[in-house]
Chains A and B, each alone.
Chain A
C-alpha cells in the first residue's frame, strides 16, 4: 500500500513502508525549501482547496505553503463557525467548493470523522485530513517521525532516507499529557508503532482514553522514571480551551504532575529529543526555559511541516492514475 493516489485520513493501520515512502519523498523536498526559488511544478495546474472549519494558523499556513511550492492553485476557505451555525450541511459546503473543480481538499474540522465523511461526499477528490476533532492529525504524526528520523540520522552522519525505518527499531518514545483529547497523540502513536518504536504514555487518569484496548502503548505511572527511559518525549497541548470539563484540578497541578519543568529537564539525558506540536502553553505542559533550549526541536517540527505536507500532497494528488 502506498499513499499514491489515495486519501490521507488516518495513520491507523498505515504500514511502515507507506510512511517511509512519505518521509523519503519529504526529504527530497527539503532541498526545494532551501532554494532561492522555492518551487517545483509537480502540481502545476492542480487545484487544492484548503478548508479550515476550525481555527488554525500553523497547519493552514504550512499546507498552503506546501501546495504553492508544488505549483498548485490554492483555494482557501476559513470558517470558524460550525456548519450547524452556518445553517449549511458539510455536504453542501463541500459540493459548493467542489463545483470549482478540485483535485484535493485539505480539511480541518472540529468534529472527529469529518474528513472521512467528506471523502464519501467527493469520491473523486483526494482528501487530506488536516486534523479532525479528537480523531487524527496524520500530517502532524508524519512530520513528527520525519523530524525524529532526521535528527537521529544526523547524529550518525547519514541522511534519513539512507536509514529507512531502521532508527525506529526499539526507539523509546514517551507521549505525555492530554492523550484523551489529542488527535496528535492518536496519529503519533500509530506512526511510531508502525515504524517499530516502543511507545509509552504518561497522563493523569482523566486524560487517558477510557479504554486503551488495541492501542500499542503501555501506560506509565512514574513520570520521572519514564523521562529517564525515553529517547523521544512528545508533549501535547493541554486542550483546556476546548471546555471538555475539569479533567485536572488546575493547570499548576498538571505542571506539578506531568509538566516538563526545568528541574525535570535538568535530570534528563541531554540527547533526549523533546517535541511539541504547538501551540505551546508555556508554563503548563512545558517550561519556557525548556522550550527555548536547543534540544527542543519545535521550530524544526514547524519547518519540516512544509516538506512533509508537500510529500503528502504530491503522492496523494500527483500519484493518481491519470498522471502515471
Chain B
C-alpha cells in the first residue's frame, strides 16, 4: 500500500513544517514538498496535524476473562479510531497476566488486530502482592513494563525487592499509587464533596504517600519506575523533584483527571467513579499546567471498560474506571491546541519511550513507534484534524462497553486517519 499525505502540518519532536509524507511498504519512504507517487492513495491533510500514531501505555483490554466488557479486538478498534498505533494491555485481566502463557495469548490475539498490542505483565503472582511473578520470563517475550495496576504493590519490602530484581533486567516497573490502608473502602476523592454526599473518601494523601515511598525506594535500589495516572498537584511535584535529582522516574496523567473534578460525583453516577478518584479543581488545573509546561511524560487513557450492569450498581459498589481510547486525544487537544509538538510528545513520543517501543529499543514482534517522522521509519502515523468538532455518543463507540463520562459532550479536534505499519486502518473517522 502506498499512501501520500499532502500538505499536512508534520509535527516533529522539536518543530513543525507543512510538507508531504510518502508511505510505501510499511515505512516512511519520502518526506518533502510536492511529492507524487503513481497509484498512491492521496490524503489531502491541509490544516491537519500529522504526527506519530499515539501510544497508550495504560489500556484495559479485559481479555481474557471479561470479554463482555471488551475484547482485544474491540479495544484495538477503539484504539485506532482514537489515533493509537500501539496499546500496552494492562495485566488486570482474569486471570492476571502474570505468566508466559497468558502474555503469549494476549500478544497472539493482539497480532491479529489493526494495531500493535504490547503487554504489561504483573509484578506479583495474580497481582496479589505477595510473591514476585516470573518477570524475567515475561521480559524474554518482550514485556518491558510490569505493574500491579488496580491496587499497586502495597508491601514496601516486596516493592523494594521488585525494584532490585528488575533494575538489571532493563524493564520498568509501573505503580498504581494508592495506599489501600488509607484509600481502601473509599469511592471518591476525600474532601468536602465526599463528606456532604456521605461517600467514603480516598484521600489525596493515599496517593502522595505511595509516590513518596516509591521515590525513596527507587533512590535506594536504582532502576526505573513509572508512575501511573497521577492525579494530584503534589504527586506531580514529587515526581518532578525526583526527576531533577536524577532518578529514572516517568509519569503519566489520564484525561479524566485533567478534565473532570470531584464535583462530577454529585449525581452519584458511577460513570465518574475511578481510581485514583477525580480530584479537586485545583488539582485539575495543576495537571493541565503540567501538560502545558511539558513536565509530564505521557497522557495515558486508563481505558477501563465495564458492562452496564456493573456500572448500574450503587456508587460504592460499582467498579471504578471509564472509557477513554476514543476521546483521549480530543481531551488532550483541549489543553494543547496551540502546541502540536507537546501534543505528540505526551500522546506518542513520551509513552513510546516509557514502553520501549521506539526504533532504538529492543522490541520483540512489534513495529517502532513515537518516531521523528523521518525516512525509513515504520509508518505509524496519525492525521488529526484540529478544526473538527464532534459530539461523543456512547452508542457509536467501537468499544464493547459504553461507560464514557463524556457522552453528549462536544469536543474539539478529532482523529481523521490512522496508519499502522503502513496500512490505512482508519480513514475519515471510519475503520478500514
Q: A-side interface residues toward B, CB under 8 Å?
A: 12, 82-84, 89-92, 109, 111-114, 116-117, 120-121, 132-136, 180, 183, 186, 209-215
On whether A133 and B198 interact (CB within 8 A), knowing A83-B317, A211-B191, the answer reads yes
12 A-B pairs with CB atoms under 8 Å apart are: A89-B312, A89-B313, A111-B315, A112-B315, A113-B268, A113-B315, A117-B268, A117-B269, A134-B200, A186-B196, A213-B192, A214-B196
The answer to whether B198 touches A112, judged by C-beta atoms less than 8 angstroms apart, is yes
Q: Is the interface of B mostly helix, strand, loop or mixed?
A: loop
Contacts of B194 in A (CB 8 A): 211
**Nearest chain B residue, comparing its CB with the CB of A116:** B268
Q: Which of A12, A84, A113, A114 has the most CB of B within 10 A?
A: A113
B309 contacts across to A, CB distance below 8 A: 89, 91-92
Q: Measured between C-beta atoms, what is the minimum distance from A110 to chain B in Å? A: 8
CB neighbours (8 Å) of B198 from chain A are: 112-113, 132-136, 183, 186
Q: Complex Cα distance A209/B199, Å? A: 10
Kindly list chain A residues whose C-beta atoms are within 8 Å of the C-beta of B201: 210
- Chain B residues with Cβ below 8 Å from A186 are 196, 198
In the complex, whether B267 has a CB less than 8 A from a CB of chain A is: yes
Complex partner residue of B316 from A112, A210, A213, CB under 8 angstroms: A112
A211 engages B192 (CB within 8 Å): yes
How far is A112 from B268 in the complex, measured between Cα atoms in Å? Answer: 8
| B195 sits at the interface (CB 8 A) | yes
Q: How distant is the Cα of A135 from the Cα of B315 in the complex, in angstroms? A: 12
| Size of interface on B: residues with Cβ below 8 Å to A | 22
Cβ of A80 to closest chain B Cβ, rounded Å:
15
Q: Is the CB of B313 within 8 A of A90?
A: yes
Q: Mark B383-418, 1 if CB is under 8 A from A, else 0.
A: 000000000000000000000000000000000000
Q: In the bound complex, how far is the Cα of B198 from the Cα of A214, in angstroms? A: 14
Q: How far is the CA of A46 from the CA of B58 in the complex (A)?
A: 52
- B180–chain A nearest beta-carbon distance, Å: 13
B197 pairs with A113, CB closer than 8 A? yes
Q: A92-B309, A209-B195, A211-B191 are in contact. Are A82 and B315 (CB under 8 A)?
A: no
Given contacts A92-B309, A116-B267, A117-B268, contact A211 B195 (CB under 8 A): yes
B358 to chain A, nearest CB (A): 44
Q: Is B190 located at the chain interface by the 8 A CB criterion?
A: yes
B314 touches A (CB below 8 Å): yes
Task: State the CA gap A134–B316 with chains docked (Å).
Answer: 11
A135, A136, A183 interface centre (most CB from chain B within 10 Å) = A135
User: Hey, which chain A residues are within 8 Å of B199, CB to CB?
Assistant: 112-113, 133-135
Contact status of A133 and B313, CB under 8 A, knowing A116-B267, A211-B191, A211-B195: no
Instruction: Identify the interface centre among B192, B195, B309: most chain A CB within 10 Å of its CB.
Output: B195
CB distance B197 to A114 under 8 Å? no
Establish whether residues B195 and A212, one from each chain, have CB atoms under 8 Å apart when the complex forms. Answer: yes
Q: A90, B197: Cβ atoms under 8 Å?
A: no
User: Which residues between 254 and 270 of chain B lie within 8 Å of chain A, taking CB atoms?
Assistant: 267-269
Contact residue among B191, B200, B269, B312 (Cβ-Cβ distance under 8 Å from A90): B312
- Chain B residues with Cβ under 8 A from A210's Cβ? 190-191, 195, 201
State in angstroms the CA–CA spacing of A134 and B195 once bound together: 9
Residues facing A in B170-210 (CB within 8 A) are: 190-192, 194-201
Q: Which among A114, A120, A209 is the interface contact of B314 at CB below 8 angstroms?
A: A114
For A214, the chain B residues whose CB sits under 8 A away are: 192, 196
Whether A135 contacts B316 by the Cβ 8 Å rule is: no
